[in-house]
């Protein structure tokens, strides 16, 4: 690891275009505003630690053509444009960036004018999405720090800033479209390692805080006062956890210690945004370590309150299934296989569904209407916190209902389960149930044989299965919904 980090700041010189694919535009930026004295005041280079091109390892060949095109186009039009965020951070760590974000002094409207397939999204925080085939480059205008805006606050004549911000009474940012200089932009970002800027103008890296040191020390450090920054946007707590898990970083002491105090603010974040964040947390290849941190920092209870409560009760098969599903999700993503959020959420809420049904073993097997009613209750409670879209909740219900159908031992049920569009997911779920320690009489193996068999073998298996129909067990119902 040390070797890798040394590479970060003493990388080979990027020798002009030698060994590097030609940039999208061969034209140098029209005016070198980085060197221009009036605009360098705007850029506040005196505030930055500058790492020259021969002292870092970022090479244009690792930046997508789309991102380069945006950087050069903005530069050619006389704007400042920088790669920033995860793109720079991940390149410095030797990782492949998930996407490329660009920060510029062009306004959203100016950016939009320059790129045909672009659109401005977001109200709270305006971003321009520039589409190149399947790749989307996110461009944002430099933002400035601002306190709550008082009535009557007017921008001074000629002020570059446009006052358009709003805070809630708790300090949460409702709108954040006050434009500013790059150093201000840097300090508005979430963590020091996400606030490093790379320019193709002269291939320099700029750091306005302690991003370089923190990257070397593998630390996630909130920019500014963590209490204020978490109040402004409680999702930053989730992002801190996500980056620690993904990058295998530690959290800096102050950034860490006040999470406990402010985690409850996640209740004021919209369930729709929490759904997006939950996907980034759990469906990005690091679900297992992320989940450990979500529990450790006690923020998971604001995303999946019912699940977290039940998980704290110890190692039941249902709880084990959650762990196995997280592990499988990570493994599949590592192999470039797709994952469906429905499967993941079906697994996360499986302990809750079982608890709701008081379904603790073969003697308490519920019937279909009971599963349907419980699924409604469980999903309804969950979406108050994380708004799982309907297309996923429908699939979750199907996976759960099919668990029952897969256990039915008659020809028609077997055929209809096998032909169900959600069969594969339900079968995988069944295997996880067995792996987690639930005794299902080797049902998973039966379905594996069934799928692999030819028509004749399928018929034989079905007949043998129907003959082996166990005596109907009476469901011993305890009153459900009491929790303990
Ligand atoms: P990745 O894309 O790998 O998940 P990232 O750091 O690029 O990581 P994005 O969500 O793409 O994350 O955001 C891009 C950048 O925007 C961040 O690096 C950070 O500088 C800034 N940013 C994103 N969300 C916030 C936030 N809630 N508060 C402050 N700055 C943010
Ligand atoms: Mg990004």
Model pLDDT for residues 365-379, shown as the tens digit of each residue: 888 999 999 999 999
**Cα(97) to centroid of ligand 1, in Å?**
12
Atom of ligand 1 lying closest to residue 140 CA: 16
**Radius of gyration over every alpha carbon of the chain, rounded to an integer in angstroms:** 27
Atom of ligand 1 lying closest to residue 89 CA: 6
What value does the mean pLDDT take over residues 407-414? 79
**Cα(438) to centroid of ligand 1, in Å?**
41
What value does the mean pLDDT take over residues 280-304? 96
- CA 121 to CA 113: how far, in whole Å? 14
Is the pLDDT score of 7 beyond 50?
Answer: no
Closest CA to 393 of 409, 405, 381, 404: 381
Q: Please tell me if the CB atom of residue 98 comes closer than 6 angstroms to any atom of ligand 1.
A: yes
Q: Please tell me if the CB atom of residue 101 comes closer than 6 angstroms to any atom of ligand 1.
A: yes
**Cα(236) to centroid of ligand 1, in Å?**
9
What value does the mean pLDDT take over residues 217-230? 97
Least confident of 169-173, 211-215, 219-223, 275-279: 169-173
Closest CA to 8 of 212, 214, 219, 251: 212
What value does the mean pLDDT take over residues 15-32? 32
What value does the mean pLDDT take over residues 331-338? 94
> Which ligand is closest in space to the CA of residue 243?
1
- In the chain, the percentage of residues whose pLDDT exceeds 90 is 63
Please tell me which residue, 284 or 455, carries the higher pLDDT value.
284
Measure CA of the first residue to CA of the last residue in the chain; give whole Å: 47
Is the pLDDT score of 32 beyond 50?
Answer: no
Q: Please tell me if the CB atom of residue 233 comes closer than 6 angstroms to any atom of ligand 1.
A: yes
Contact criterion met (CB below 8 Å) for 357 and 368:
no
Q: Please tell me if the CB atom of residue 211 comes closer than 6 angstroms to any atom of ligand 1.
A: no
Question: pLDDT-derived band of residue 93, with 50, 70 and 90 as boundaries?
Answer: very high
Is the pLDDT score of 466 beyond 60?
Answer: yes
Atom of ligand 1 lying closest to residue 189 CA: 30
Count of Cβ atoms closer than 10 Å to residue 46 Cβ: 8
pLDDT of residue 433: 95
- CA 327 to CA 321: how far, in whole Å? 10
pLDDT of residue 409: 72
What value does the mean pLDDT take over residues 201-226? 95
Q: Which residues are catalytic?
A: 99, 101, 190
């Amino acid at each position: 690891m040390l070797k890798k980090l040394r590479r970060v700041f003493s990388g080979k010189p990027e020798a002009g275009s030698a060994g590097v694919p030609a940039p999208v535009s061969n034209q140098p930026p029209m005016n070198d505003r980085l060197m221009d004295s009036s605009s360098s005041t705007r850029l506040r280079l005196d505030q930055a630690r500058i790492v020259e091109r021969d002292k870092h390892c970022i090479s244009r060949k690792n930046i997508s053509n789309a991102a380069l095109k945006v950087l050069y186009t903005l530069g050619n039009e006389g704007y400042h444009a920088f790669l920033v965020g995860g793109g720079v951070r991940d390149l410095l760590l030797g990782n492949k960036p998930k996407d490329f974000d660009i920060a510029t002094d062009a306004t959203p409207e100016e950016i939009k004018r320059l790129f045909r397939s672009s659109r401005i999204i977001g109200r709270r925080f305006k971003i321009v999405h520039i589409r190149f085939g399947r790749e989307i480059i996110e461009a944002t205008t430099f933002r400035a720090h601002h306190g709550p805006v008082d009535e009557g606050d007017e921008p001074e004549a000629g002020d570059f800033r446009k006052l358009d911000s709003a805070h809630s009474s708790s300090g949460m940012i409702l709108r954040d479209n006050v434009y500013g200089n790059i150093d201000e932009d840097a300090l508005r970002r979430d963590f020091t390692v996400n606030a490093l800027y790379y320019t193709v103008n002269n291939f320099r890296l700029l750091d306005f805080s302690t991003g370089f040191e923190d990257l070397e020390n593998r630390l996630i450090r909130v920019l500014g006062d963590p209490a204020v920054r978490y109040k402004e946007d409680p999702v930053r707590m989730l992002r801190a956890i996500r980056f620690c898990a993904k990058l295998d970083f530690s959290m800096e002491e102050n950034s860490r210690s006040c999470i406990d105090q402010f985690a409850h603010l996640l209740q004021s974040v919209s369930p729709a945004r929490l759904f997006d964040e939950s996907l980034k947390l759990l469906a990005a290849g690091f679900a297992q370590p992320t989940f450990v941190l979500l529990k450790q920092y006690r923020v998971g209870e604001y995303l999946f309150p019912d699940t977290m409560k039940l998980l704290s009760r110890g190692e039941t098969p249902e709880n084990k299934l959650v762990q196995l599903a997280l592990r499988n999700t990570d493994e599949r993503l590592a192999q470039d296989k797709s994952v469906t959020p429905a499967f993941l959420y079906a697994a996360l809420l499986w302990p809750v569904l079982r608890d709701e049904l008081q379904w603790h073993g073969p003697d308490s097997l519920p019937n279909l209407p009971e599963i349907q009613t419980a699924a409604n209750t469980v999903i309804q409670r969950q979406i108050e916190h994380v708004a799982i879209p309907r297309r996923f909740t429908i699939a979750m219900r199907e996976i759960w209902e099919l668990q029952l159908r897969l256990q039915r031992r008659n020809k028609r049920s077997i055929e209809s389960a096998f032909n169900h569009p959600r069969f594969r997911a339900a079968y995988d779920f069944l295997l996880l149930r067995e792996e987690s320690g639930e005794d299902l009489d080797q049902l998973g193996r039966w379905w594996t044989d069934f799928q692999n068999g030819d028509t004749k073998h399928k018929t034989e298996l079905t007949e043998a299965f129907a003959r082996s129909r166990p005596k109907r067990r009476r469901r011993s119902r305890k009153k459900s919904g009491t929790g303990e």
